[in-house]
Structure 1
Amino acid sequence: MSKTIELCKVRQGEFFTIDGVEFVKLDEKMGGAFAVTTDTLPDTGPFEHEDAERNDHNNFVGSRLMADILEWANNHPSIKDAILERPIDLTSMDGMTDYGMPCVKARTLTIDEFRKYRCYIPLTSKPWWTATPWCTDNSPYSGAYYAYRIYTDGSVYYSYVCYEFFAPRPAFYLKSSILVSINDGAPDKGIRDFSDTDLIDELYRRRRESYDPD
């Protein structure tokens, strides 16, 4: 059973659904809710085409990957209307900042975001591209043809941007005021759901039950 609530009331790490698509909420920041889909899109594809007329093939902005995510979002009106334009840090793995921090709507996770929110991010049915480049043309002894991807077991590595083995995984900043659906089933309580007094009382109760004077 599900219920409808404002996205701002969804807890960090909790799943929610909008326009038939399931997301997990990663954070509440920069005036919106940061979320990623719980699985990849169904079709795999390249980060960028080999014959693309650009030198920065692993720059997420202007890439085939970005276009695929934008096209997908445009086919989900409720999601499209809720997306906020926010900066994305495209620093390469070797620290080059050639690609800057452009403001975008259609996006996926960077490696830094994946690491930061790893405990909330579900594994996927297909490996997927991140927005993080391995290096740039200005990096020593390297070029702009590799980007990082996440495999189905959560492992991280870089791959040639023209490989079509990896899927897009949309991640957006969404308006916190939108209505979304969540599972209304009573969640199992974790230790953080109890007060210190409750925990001490429970430990004392167990101690008394296990006490054997003989």
Structure 2
Amino acid sequence: MNEIKLRPGEEFVYNGIRFICLDIIGGNYLAITADCWCEKRFNDNYNDGCNNWKTSTLRRFLNEDVLEEHFDAKHLIKQTSNLTADNGDKAYGTCEDYITLLSCEQYRKYRDYVPLFEECMWTLTPWRCDTGYAGSVRIVTPTGAISGHSANNSLGLAPVCLFNSDNLTLRRQAQLISAE
């Protein structure tokens, strides 16, 4: 079979999960799921700071349960997420994950390739980080607008991964990515 390279906007399947390539970063493929997986809370706890991706139950779910059940870690590269709030507050810093969500900045950059779902989709961007306001997270609505929602509500989940192209072979016929 002929090996091919992905281009932004192209769809592929990994372990039965449909993904859309968003970008090629250092020869590796940044991709988002083509379908909204499910609806989950951003954080099961609701208090100041519950909109911090770094401490969210959704992050833990993706990088423990989902990673173990659906991925081989050698096929992924950890990516650094910028947790800057919508108002520019950098209090939450950054974090590294195998599986993450888009930030609002990434959503704007890759908007042409990101599917719009019937349900609202979480981003990892907090609205604000300061006391009294640290419970709201930015979301993408079904129309593509960026809005906000309380971290303890259940909304759509579209995981994002950086696939290690050194450990993957893309086959045109089946449009599958598999381990070499």
Q: Quick one: distance in 2 between partners of 1:159 and 1:152? A: 14
2:6–2:29: 8 Å Cα contact kept in structure 1? Answer: no
Partner of residue 8 from structure 2, selected from 3, 9, 12 = 12
Pairing partner for 1:26 from 22, 26, 29: 22
Cα deviation, residue 169, structure 1? 1.1
Q: 1:75 aligns to what?
A: 69
**Are 1:150 and 2:146 matched, yes or no?**
no
Gaps of 5+ in 1: 186-214
Structure number having the greater helix percentage? 1
Report the RMSD for the aligned CA atoms in angstroms. Answer: 2.2
The 5 Å alignment of 1:16-165 reads 16-30=12-26, 32-41=28-37, 43-50=38-45, 55-70=48-63, 71-78=65-72, 80-137=73-130, 142-164=132-154
Question: Quick check: which has more Rg, 1 or 2?
Answer: 1
Deviations 1:66-115 (A, max 9, x none): 1222222321134x431111211110000000111222222110000000
Give the counterpart of 1:175 among 151, 164, 167.
164
In structure 1, what is the Cα distance between the partners aligned to 2:158 and 2:70?
Answer: 15
Give the drift of 1:40. Answer: 1.4
Distance between the aligned counterparts of 2:145 and 2:172, measured in 1? 29
Looking at structure 1, the residues matched to 96 and 126 of structure 2 have their Cα atoms a distance apart, in angstroms, of: 17
8 Å CA contact retained: 1:47, 1:162: yes
TM-fit CA distance, 1:174? 1.1
Q: Which runs of 4+ in 1 moved over 3 A?
A: 3-6, 180-185
CA distance 1:57–1:10, shift in 2 (3 Å): same
C-alpha change, 1:4 and 1:95, in structure 2 (3 Å) is farther
Question: Normalising by structure 1, what TM-score?
Answer: 0.73
Instruction: Tell which deviates more after alignment, 95-104 or 112-121.
Output: 95-104
Whether the 8 Å contact between 2:7 and 2:24 is mirrored in structure 1 is no
The 1:58–1:31 alpha-carbon spacing in structure 2 relative to 1, beyond 3 Å, is farther
- Name the SS for the 1:123 alignment partner: coil
Return the TM-score normalized by structure 2: 0.86
Identity of aligned residues (%): 24
Higher strand share: 2
* Aligned counterparts of 1:4 and 1:61: Cα–Cα separation in 2: 40
Give me the whole-angstrom Cα distance separating, in 1, the residues matched to 2:2 and 2:67.
Answer: 21
SS of equivalent residue, structure 2 residue 22: strand
Q: Distance in 2 between matches of 1:65 and 1:23?
A: 20
